C-alpha cells in the first residue's frame, strides 16, 4: 500500500508547489497596473520580486533604500507628522504675504523658512515647521512602490528618487508644511551627485496636495527616461503664495540632460510653475507634454526659461489665465494645426484646446522641431488623442480607474470635474496635528531645506515672476 501511495503524494505535493509558485508570480506581476508610455517606456521597477508589505516607518525606509529589487505595496497610510520633532526659528514674512494680509481677502499667504542663501524682502518672523517633511524618504534603484486602493498615503513626508528604474504608482503625498515656503517637496528626482543621472522613472496615478514647495522637482543632475502620467496635482490650499487659495510652486524641471514626458495629468487650482522648465545656461531639458488637463489656474501654467525645449500638444486649458508665461528664453512649440510638425516628427501633432483661457503661443519653435526630429522614433510611438477634459478616479488615486492598461488612462469626459470651495486634504496644519506613531530617528539622507537644491537656488531659474523675486528664490 505504501509503495502505491507515496508517488501519488509526491505528485500532489508538486502540484500544490507549482500552483503556489504560479500564484506568487502572478501576484508579483499584477501589482503594477499597465506599462509606461513616453520616455519611461521599458521601466520595470522591482520587476517580479515578491511583494513586501511594510507595517512600520522603519520597514518602509529600509525597503525603499536598500540594494535589493523591491515591489513595495502600501496597504495602510503612514503618518510622519511629529515623528521627527519640529523646529521653531527666525524666518521671513515675504512682501507678498504682507500684501496678502493687508488685503483682508480671507486668504492666507505663506511665510518662509529662511535658508542662508536667500534674502528676506519683508519682515522677520518666527516660523515653526515639522522636520519630517524636509527629510524625504530615499528611493534607490529597481524599486516599485504601489498603493492598494486608496490606502497608500504618505502624510507629512515626500520621496527623493536617487536611483534608476523606479516605479511609483497609486500613492498620495500630502501635508508637507503647507504654511511655509521651503516646507518640503513631494517628489524630488536627484542623482547622488550632479554627475549621476537617474534613468527610467515612472510616476503614475499619484496625487499631490498641501505641500510647502514643489510638487515635483528634477534637480541639477537631470534625469532621463521619465514619465509622469495619469496623476492628480491638486493646488487647493489654505496657505497660498499668490493669496488666492492656489498653490504656486508646481513643478521645476532642471538638469544638464533631462528627457521626460508629462502625459494625461490633471493640474488644477495652481497659480504658477505648472510646469517651470529650465533655468540655467547648463540646462538641457526636453519635455513632451500631451493630453494634460489644466483647470482653474489663476496665473501661468508653462514657464520656459534658458535650456528648455518643450513640445505641448493635445492639452486642454480651461480657465487658465496665462497658459504660458511671457519669456524670450527657452523653446516652446504649441502646434496650431496637425501639420505643424509632421515633416520633422513623421506624424501629425495634435492642437491644444483653450477655453476661457489666455493665449498659447510658440517660442523659438524651430529649435523644438529640430529636437523632435532627433527623437521622432520615440515620439511617434506615443498615441496623442484630441484634447479633452479628464476626471479623477474614485477607487484609486489619479486620473481614470485602473484597468488592464494603466499606461493609457486619459479617457475624456464631457463635463468638467466639479470643484467646490477651496479645501485641504488634511484639515489641520502639520504642526497642530497629533500622531500615535512612536518617534523615530531623524532621517540622515539630507538636512532640512537641502532636499530640493544642491547649490544656491538663484541658479535654478531666470526669475520671471514677482512672487519669485519677492522671496529671492
Kindly tell me the burial class for residue 102, based on how many C-beta atoms sit within 10 Å of its own C-beta (0-12, 13-18, 19 or more). exposed
Distance CA 254, CA 206 (A): 21
Q: Supply the DSSP string of 379-435, one letter for each residue.
A: HHTS--PPP-B--B-SSSSSBS---S-GGG----BSSPPP--S---SS-S-TTT---
Kindly tell me the burial class for residue 93, based on how many C-beta atoms sit within 10 Å of its own C-beta (0-12, 13-18, 19 or more). buried
Catalytic residues: 273
Does residue 47 contact residue 146 with C-beta atoms inside 8 Å? no
Distance CA 399, CA 402 (A): 9
Burial profile 193-221: b = 16 or more Cβ within 10 angstroms, e = fewer: ebeebbbbbbbbbbbbbbbbbbbbbbbbb
Neighbours of 336 (CB within 10 A): 12
Distance CA 79, CA 465 (A): 34
Within 13 Å, how many C-alpha atoms sit on residue 101's CB side? Answer: 9
Neighbours of 172 (CB within 10 A): 25
Amino acid at each position: 500500500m505504501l509503495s502505491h501511495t507515496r508517488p501519488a503524494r509526491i505528485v500532489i505535493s508538486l502540484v500544490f508547489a507549482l500552483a503556489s509558485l504560479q500564484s506568487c508570480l502572478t501576484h508579483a506581476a499584477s501589482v503594477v497596473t499597465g506599462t509606461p508610455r513616453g520616455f519611461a517606456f521599458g521601466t520595470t521597477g522591482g520587476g517580479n520580486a515578491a511583494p513586501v508589505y511594510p507595517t512600520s516607518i522603519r520597514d518602509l525606509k529600509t525597503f525603499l533604500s536598500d540594494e535589493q529589487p523591491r515591489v513595495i505595496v502600501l496597504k495602510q497610510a503612514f503618518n510622519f507628522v511629529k515623528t521627527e520633532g519640529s523646529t521653531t526659528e527666525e524666518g521671513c514674512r515675504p512682501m507678498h504675504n504682507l500684501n496678502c494680509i493687508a488685503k483682508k481677502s480671507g486668504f492666507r499667504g505663506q511665510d518662509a523658512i529662511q535658508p542662508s542663501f536667500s534674502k528676506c524682502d519683508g519682515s522677520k518672523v518666527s516660523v515653526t515647521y515639522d522636520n519630517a517633511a524636509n527629510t524625504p524618504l530615499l528611493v534607490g534603484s529597481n524599486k516599485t512602490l504601489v498603493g492598494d486602493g486608496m490606502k497608500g498615503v504618505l502624510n507629512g513626508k515626500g520621496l527623493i528618487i536617487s536611483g534608476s528604474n523606479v516605479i511609483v504608482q497609486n500613492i498620495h503625498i500630502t501635508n508637507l508644511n503647507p504654511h511655509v515656503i521651503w516646507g518640503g517637496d513631494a517628489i524630488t528626482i536627484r542623482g547622488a551627485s550632479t554627475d549621476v543621472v537617474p534613468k527610467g522613472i515612472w510616476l503614475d496615478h499619484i496625487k499631490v496636495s498641501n505641500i510647502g514647495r514643489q510638487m515635483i522637482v528634477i534637480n541639477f543632475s537631470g534625469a532621463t527616461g521619465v514619465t509622469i502620467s495619469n496623476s492628480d496635482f491638486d493646488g487647493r490650499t489654505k496657505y497660498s503664495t499668490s493669496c488666492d487659495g492656489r498653490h504656486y510652486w508646481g513643478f521645476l524641471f532642471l538638469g544638464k540632460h533631462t528627457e521626460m514626458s508629462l502625459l494625461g495629468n490633471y493640474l488644477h487650482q495652481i497659480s504658477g510653475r505648472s510646469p517651470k522648465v529650465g533655468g540655467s545656461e547648463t540646462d538641457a531639458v526636453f519635455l513632451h507634454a500631451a493630453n494634460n488637463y489644466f483647470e482653474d489656474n489663476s496665473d501661468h501654467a508653462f514657464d520656459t526659461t534658458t535650456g528648455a525645449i518643450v513640445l505641448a500638444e493635445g492639452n486642454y486649458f480651461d480657465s487658465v489665465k496665462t497658459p504660458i508665461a511671457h519669456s524670450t528664453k527657452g523653446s516652446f512649440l504649441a502646434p496650431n494645426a496637425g501639420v505643424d510638425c509632421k515633416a520633422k516628427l513623421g506624424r501629425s501633432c495634435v492642437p491644444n484646446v483653450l477655453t476661457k483661457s489666455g493665449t498659447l503661443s510658440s517660442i523659438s519653435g524651430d529649435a523644438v522641431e529640430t529636437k523632435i526630429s532627433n527623437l521622432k522614433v520615440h515620439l511617434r510611438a506615443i498615441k496623442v488623442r484630441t484634447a479633452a477634459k479628464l476626471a479623477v478616479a474614485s477607487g484609486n488615486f489619479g486620473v481614470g480607474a485602473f484597468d488592464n492598461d494603466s499606461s493609457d488612462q486619459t479617457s475624456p469626459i464631457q463635463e468638467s470635474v466639479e470643484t467646490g470651495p477651496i479645501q485641504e486634504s488634511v484639515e489641520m496644519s502639520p504642526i497642530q496635528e497629533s500622531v500615535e506613531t512612536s518617534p523615530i530617528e531623524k532621517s540622515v539622507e539630507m538636512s532640512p531645506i537641502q532636499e530640493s537644491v544642491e547649490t544656491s537656488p538663484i541658479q535654478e531659474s531666470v526669475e520671471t515672476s514677482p512672487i519669485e523675486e519677492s522671496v529671492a528664490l
